[in-house]
Chain A
Amino acid sequence: MSAHTHHSTPAHGGDILGETGEEVIGTSPVERTAAGDVLEPEEELLTINFGPHHPATHGVLRLLVSLEGEIVRDLKPVVGYVHTGIEKNCEDKSYWKVIPFVERMDYLSYFFNMEAFVGCVERLLELEIPPRAKYLRVLHMELNRIHSHLVWLGTSALDLGAMSMFFYCFRERDRILDLFEMSTGQRMHTRYFQVGGVFEDIPLGFAHNLRAFCAEMPTRIDQYEAILNANEIFLERTRNVGVVSRERLLDLGVTGPLLRAAGEPWDLRKVTPYECYEDFDFSIPVGTIGDGYDRYRVRVQEMRESVRIIEQAIDGLPEGPWIADDRKVVLPPRDELSVSMEALIHHFKLVTEGFRVPPGEAYFAVESPRGELGSFVVADGSSKPARVHIRDPSFVNLQCLRDQCIGGYVADMIQNLAMLDPILGGIDR
């Protein structure tokens, strides 16, 4: 800034200092060179606390942000406010009691948390689950993916000022929760997946309701897109904002829609098919440059793909048992308890002590709505895990927030955070 511009328009706030006649820029006295030019004062950074209880942080995330005017110069996420020691507690529970615990970490993708843990234990036991159980799991996970994306879409659009989106998204979310209630008895945190399969078969009428939902959902997604796709404010806020290169995202370990929006077609459902994903015909939406708009489009397209998977799963649902027939691991059917002494003994052993898992380690990862959700379980031969570690996608993905925000406006930081979709319950565990 030259001396001339300073006299005409004080850039750093034409405040009371201007009236005193004293030459001050910002809060520093003006220094001049021998030639009389004003020396640029040290850029002054304002460090503010964003969160941990700000509604736009989607939980209790705290960001230490250094601002130069409206520009973000540095950013540091501080996490741990909802750390509840779930991993430690899991070591004190028998395997089947861990399931409801891990569900409550990433509270929007409970079926995925269960799948990661239960799948890992099944690998340790080398237990094969029946085809009907696989289909039911995929069906519920894909419903859960739509549910998670709906909550994300509603709250993110709300952050960007599109209030009505919140109501539309939660309308469909409630229909999914109704479906969960019908098949599992619970709307959230269902504890539906068991080691060996699923807890119960789907009830009569569920398929009908599910088909009705699948027929309706694409028209609902059309409505969301009609609201947002060409909305001038939404486009201005999201286009070319928060771009991080694909290489940098890979270096940071970022997975999920964030990575796919940057053009990398990486989805664990395709690259390492688990359960029965290889049976289904679906595609992986990818973006081009990886800005906020691409992230939005990728997630919305994923909802459409999930509807396709659900339709195929309910049409192709195999007949047969929904849980493995291994009496050392799976509870015997209820009606056998009154007639079979052996079933009663198995039931008693499983409920009191739980099943034992041979010593070993396994890592099993699934594609959650936010990326690679991995579960690492160390078994020591007892009925309790020696170590449970969850690789939560939000925890790793959060590291790219700094790259997204630096050099942008504060308002873009809100947009970046919304499009990052972190779930603090998963980050802090």
Chain B
Amino acid sequence: MPDAPGLELIAQELNADAEGSVLGTYHEHGQGCLIVNPERIIDVLRWLRDTPGQEYRFLSSLHGVDYLPAEPRFGVVYELMSMPRAERLRLRAALADPGGERLPEIDTCVELFPGADFQEREVYDFFGIVFRGHPDMRRILMPEEYVGWPQRRDFPVGGEPVIFTHDEPVMPRWYE
């Protein structure tokens, strides 16, 4: 984990290289975190991956988060690992809810980290965050015809009625 000056240094160099890409830094429970402009996420990831001395070549994990009621509402969190130094770095890109039927969008990082393929599909599946340029942006765990984004905070638990065959007399054609 880069210490506080190290994290600031990374942020400064990134901002010098790609203007306005890092919006802030913070430390939390012993882990450094960069708040990244979602429009520049690919520039930041590429810089961290390819710059000598950084080498965050391993994307451990990618999470979607719904911070409702906070604004901006959605977040995509990248857990990077620098294997030579065994250091972790977290990136957080905040995405506003565009409202209505429209979905929040962010660029895909599959080109840089092919292992993100399934994880981006998972985030899309549960939060409805679209990864622009992803080769196969479909649901992965939920059925393909499913409607709704189940892990959003305003999606109720038990949103579907559990129906059994003995309900047939009281609820004809329940299976439709």
Contacts and interface: CB of A to CB of B under 8 A. Distances in A.
B83 to A, nearest CB: 7
Contact of A391 (B31, B61, B143, B151): B61
Interface in B24-42: 28-31
A80 B116 CA distance: 17
A345 interface: no
Interface stretch (A235-243, A247-255, A278-286, A332-340): A247-255
28 contacts: A80-B139, A80-B143, A83-B142, A85-B150, A88-B151, A88-B157, A92-B157, A251-B113, A252-B114, A252-B115, A253-B59, A253-B60, A253-B114, A253-B115, A253-B116, A272-B88, A360-B29, A361-B90, A374-B60, A376-B77, A386-B65, A387-B65, A391-B61, A391-B79, A395-B122, A396-B115, A396-B119, A399-B114
Interface string A61-95: 00000000000000000011001010111011000
Contacts of B134: none
B115 A89 contact: no
B113 A376 contact: no
A272 B117 CA distance: 26
A276 B61 CA distance: 24
A266 B118 contact: no
A367 interface: no
A89 B143 CA distance: 18
Contacts, number: 103
A399 B63 contact: no
Contacts of A252: 114-115
B115 A123 contact: no
B115 A399 contact: yes
Q: Ordered nearest first, which 8 A-B pairs have the shortest CB separation?
A: A253-B115, A391-B61, A80-B141, A271-B86, A83-B141, A252-B115, A389-B63, A123-B29
A378 B28 CA distance: 12
B58 interface: yes
Interface of A: 79-80, 83, 85, 87-89, 91-92, 123-124, 126, 250-254, 266, 271-272, 360-363, 365, 372, 374, 376, 378, 386-387, 389, 391, 395-396, 398-399, 428-429
B115 A254 contact: yes
A399 B115 CA distance: 7
A363 B140 contact: no
Contacts of B122: 395
A255 to B, nearest CB: 8
A79 B64 CA distance: 19
B115 A272 contact: no
Contacts of B153: 91, 386
Contacts of B63: 376, 387, 389, 391
A139 B79 CA distance: 28
Contacts of A378: 65, 67
B66 interface: yes
B57 interface: yes
B96 to A, nearest CB: 18
Interface in B96-146: 113-119, 122, 126, 139-143
Contacts of B114: 251-253, 399
A391 B77 CA distance: 12
A374 B61 contact: yes
Given A89-B157, A253-B60, A362-B29, A399 B118 contact: yes
